[in-house]
Amino acid sequence: MLENRRILLIVAGGIAAVKVPDLIRRLRERGALVRCILTKGGAQFVTPLTLAALSGDKVYQDLFSLTDEAEMGHIRLSREADIVLVAPATADIMAKMVAGQADDLATTALLATDKPVMIAPSMNVMMWTHPATQANLQTLKVREVKVVGPSAGDLACGEVGNGRMAEVPTIIAALSRFFQKSAGQGPLTGFRALVTSGPTHEPIDPVRYIANRSSGKQGHAVAAALAELGANVTLISGPTHEPDPDGVKVTHVETARQMMKACAEAMPAEIVVCAAAVADWSVKGNVQKLKKGVKSPALNLSENPDILATLAKAGPLRPGLVVGFAAETENLIENAQLKRAKKNCDWVVANDVSPGSDTFGGDSKTVHLVTAESVESWPTLRKRAVAERLAERIAAYAERHF
């Protein structure tokens, strides 16, 4: 979707500008046409010659260059693009965009453009979380500016937290998704995805059952987010009060064995996300209602099928990406890493469900994306935002590996 797309790349003054040469190179590999505006601050981190060599086009810097204005006025420069990308987008340039300032070529082009704008924020964690920056971010979103990132991790200043510019593959995936969506497609168009959600109910007798507190909110949100990116999604849902997501094929089940059977029937799929909180055990026997007596009845438990491990089992029909969820009350990261290895899945989304976490049934959560290479800690987000971020990661992975 990037073939022959014209991207006006504005490089602002942040340390993340050192990633821009690789971004340009990757965009050019995909057939995009890149033209750069380099701010005075951006030139402290990357040279005009580097950007010109990689983009194959002139780099624009000075608003008051009469030669440039004669050849390429700032109005024309901003409107000949299909999209304007600001990467890195510093707190300063975000504030200027909100205020409508136009004191250099970059801000003038942003104010004059009639094309979509996307920003990739990058700054210190305290600057990112400052109320002024967050207010500016919300204003830009209201104005339909697309935002990709930032991500959490080690920052150039030595601190740790949110504020890292999104990685190059993530930015490219966001651009691809924008153009695919504008063309009525999505980055996961043509891919089949299987999502499990909700709890399972394991009957003790015809009246009672074993269950857990899972609401299904997270799994349903993941299914909806994948569908919005164009995937052909099948959702296998245990009992939940959540409405069926639009554009998703839904199969309703009650028990773990029913869920396992439905998953097997839904295969093959390229993407599997096991977000359901599947009961580990079922109860044998008791076809009649148990009566209250002197002694408490002994429950004869049997182990349920391991849906995640079954779907992630190595073989020619294994999905290209298998994602599990880990709900833990202690040693969160360590247990999630052990689960990822034991189940043979590619990623695990780990979240704390200890008392007071409000994860089960709540609308927000704090998660950690555990892969074979790293642990990525996300800030506290609403479950819908967690689903969207996970879907973006899946889209970026699919573009690189499928």
Tens digit of pLDDT for each residue in 355-367?
555 555 566 788 9
89 band by pLDDT with thresholds 50, 70 and 90: very high
pLDDT at residue number 189: 87
The residue among 186 and 171 whose pLDDT is bigger is 171
DSSP state of 378: P
The residue among 274 and 329 whose pLDDT is bigger is 274
d(C-alpha 76, C-alpha 97), whole Å: 19
66 band by pLDDT with thresholds 50, 70 and 90: low
Residues 315-320, mean pLDDT to the nearest whole number: 92
Contact criterion met (CB below 8 Å) for 192 and 271: yes
How many residues does this entry show for the chain? 402
The CATH number, out of the four listed (3.40.50.10300, 3.40.640.10, 1.10.10.10, 1.50.10.10), of the domain defined by the range 192-285+293-401 = 3.40.50.10300
Backbone angles phi, psi at 249, to 5 degrees: -80, 125
- Mind listing the pLDDT tens digit for each residue in 273-315? 999 999 999 988 666 677 777 577 778 889 999 999 999 998 8
The residue among 247 and 225 whose pLDDT is bigger is 225
Task: Considering the candidates 36, 157, 263, 345, report the single residue annotated as catalytic.
Answer: 157
328 band by pLDDT with thresholds 50, 70 and 90: confident
- Mind listing the pLDDT tens digit for each residue in 249-261? 999 999 999 999 9
Contact criterion met (CB below 8 Å) for 286 and 205: yes
- Mind listing the pLDDT tens digit for each residue in 374-384? 999 998 888 98
Concerning whether 263 is annotated as a catalytic residue, the answer is no
Residues 11-16, mean pLDDT to the nearest whole number: 92
Contact criterion met (CB below 8 Å) for 231 and 186: yes
pLDDT at residue number 217: 93
Which of 239, 235, 238, 315 has the alpha carbon at shortest distance from 272?
Answer: 235
Which of 127, 173, 118 has the alpha carbon at shortest distance from 146?
Answer: 118
Prediction pTM value: 0.59
The residue among 156 and 347 whose pLDDT is bigger is 347
Residue 37 bridge partners (DSSP):
10, 60
pLDDT at residue number 305: 95
Contact criterion met (CB below 8 Å) for 122 and 14: yes
Contact criterion met (CB below 8 Å) for 315 and 331: no
Domain limits, the chain: 6-182, 192-285+293-401
pLDDT at residue number 70: 58
Contact criterion met (CB below 8 Å) for 170 and 392: yes
Contact criterion met (CB below 8 Å) for 345 and 306: no
Residue 368 bridge partners (DSSP):
350, 377
d(C-alpha 250, C-alpha 270), whole Å: 18
pLDDT at residue number 65: 67
- Residue reference for tokens 């976490």: 357
pLDDT at residue number 71: 59
How far apart are the two ends of the chain, measured CA to CA in Å?
16
Contact criterion met (CB below 8 Å) for 331 and 366: no
Contact criterion met (CB below 8 Å) for 94 and 119: yes
- Mind listing the pLDDT tens digit for each residue in 117-166? 999 999 988 899 899 999 999 899 889 899 988 876 666 666 666 788 98
The CATH number, out of the four listed (2.60.40.10, 1.20.1530.20, 3.40.50.1950, 3.20.20.70), of the domain defined by the range 6-182 = 3.40.50.1950
Contact criterion met (CB below 8 Å) for 365 and 383: yes
Q: How far is CA 104 from CA 95, 123, 297, in A?
A: 14, 21, 78
Please state which of the ranges 67-76, 91-100, 130-139 shows the lowest mean pLDDT: 67-76
Residue 325 bridge partners (DSSP):
349
Across the chain, what does the average pLDDT equal? 88
pLDDT at residue number 387: 94
Tokens found for residue 395: 């889209």
pLDDT at residue number 212: 86
- Residue reference for tokens 């966001």: 174
d(C-alpha 292, C-alpha 308), whole Å: 37
Residues 13-21, mean pLDDT to the nearest whole number: 93
